[in-house]
């Protein structure tokens, strides 16, 4: 009889102790997702991974292309970049580089862009995309993703819009009106045209124009931000 009573009290004490532990455990922290866009300024077709899980589509990110905004948990993350092959399998030998990033959730209009200007970590960088739409204008910024270029000038319809001097230079988003625009990129000195293209910019949309490569391999791309 006494043994049974002792057993019941011991069991009750154990249940109480377990309940107390559960009650006092810290709440599980769930990180909010942050929007990240990977823009490929390299000459390789890329895939990027987070904790071994591929984040982009199965087609890979082609040169001068972008993945589009992908939701990644905020905080310190380590992204892995690999070449695109004709298989979904990969080995460590396929890895080009890893990129540690800090992603903070600082507001609904703030996102991130990661530029891969080559196939090594030191040729990649991350920037903030602070997006504010303008119903009357398209907005455009210029990013220098050409590691070996020392200075560039960007013209729209023969009007100088951007000047830059160093790799990783990022302009603000500037209003550009809307409609068809002729883009010309020239070096800091001289009138030779490194790149030209005709594009249509729509009001209410933000765009990023970026350079890639250098010399005879100089290129430029245009991606949508909003």
Render the burial of 115-124: b for 16+ CB within 10 Å, e for the rest: bbbbeeeebb
For residue 90, what pLDDT is reported? 53
114 CB neighbour count, 10 Å cutoff: 20
For residue 125, what pLDDT is reported? 96
**Which band of pLDDT confidence, cut at 50, 70 and 90, is reported for residue 30?**
low
183 CB neighbour count, 10 Å cutoff: 20
Rounded CA-CA distance 50/70 in Å is 11
**Is the pLDDT at 69 greater than 50, yes or no?**
yes
List the one residue out of 197, 41, 170 whose CA is nearest residue 116.
Answer: 41
Per-residue pLDDT tens digits for 82-115:
988 655 555 555 789 999 999 998 777 789 999 9
**Which band of pLDDT confidence, cut at 50, 70 and 90, is reported for residue 27?**
low
- How confident is the prediction for the chain on average, in pLDDT? 85
Per-residue pLDDT tens digits for 149-163:
889 999 999 999 999
For residue 11, what pLDDT is reported? 44
**Is the pLDDT at 26 greater than 60, yes or no?**
no
**Which band of pLDDT confidence, cut at 50, 70 and 90, is reported for residue 58?**
confident
Per-residue pLDDT tens digits for 155-198:
999 999 999 988 999 999 999 999 999 999 999 998 899 999 99
Q: Which burial class, exposed, middle or buried, applies to 10 when counting CB atoms under 10 A from its CB (0-12, 13-18, 19+)?
A: exposed
Q: Compute the C-alpha angle 92/95/99, nearest 5°.
A: 125
Tokens linked to 75: 């905080």
Structural domains of the chain in order of their starting residue, each with its CATH number? 29-130 (2.60.40), 135-226 (2.60.40)
8 A C-beta contact, residue 152 and residue 164: yes
13-22, 93-102, 130-139: least confidently modelled range: 13-22
Rounded CA-CA distance 109/194 in Å is 33
Of the two residues 22 and 198, the one the predictor is more confident about is 198
**Which band of pLDDT confidence, cut at 50, 70 and 90, is reported for residue 215?**
confident
Of the two residues 142 and 32, the one the predictor is more confident about is 142
């Amino acid at each position: 009889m006494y043994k049974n009573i002792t057993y019941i009290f011991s069991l009750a004490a154990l249940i109480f102790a377990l309940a107390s532990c559960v009650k006092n455990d810290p709440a599980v922290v769930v990180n909010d997702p942050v929007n990240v866009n990977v823009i490929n300024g390299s000459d390789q077709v890329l895939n990027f991974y987070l904790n071994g899980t591929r984040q982009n589509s199965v087609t890979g990110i082609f040169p001068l292309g972008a993945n589009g905004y992908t939701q990644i948990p905020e905080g310190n993350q380590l992204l892995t970049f690999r070449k695109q092959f004709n298989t979904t399998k990969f080995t460590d030998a396929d890895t080009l580089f890893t990129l540690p990033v800090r992603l903070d959730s600082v507001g609904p209009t703030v996102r991130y862009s990661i530029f891969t200007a080559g196939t090594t970590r030191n040729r990649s960088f991350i920037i903030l995309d602070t997006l504010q739409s303008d119903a009357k204008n398209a907005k455009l910024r210029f990013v220098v993703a050409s590691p070996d270029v020392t200075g560039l000038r960007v013209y729209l319809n023969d009007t100088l819009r951007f000047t830059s001097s160093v790799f990783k230079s990022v302009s603000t988003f500037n209003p550009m009106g809307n409609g068809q625009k002729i883009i010309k990129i020239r070096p800091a000195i001289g009138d030779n045209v490194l790149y030209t293209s005709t594009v249509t910019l729509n009001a209410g949309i933000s765009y990023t124009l970026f350079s890639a490569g250098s010399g005879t391999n100089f290129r430029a791309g245009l991606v949508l931000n909003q």
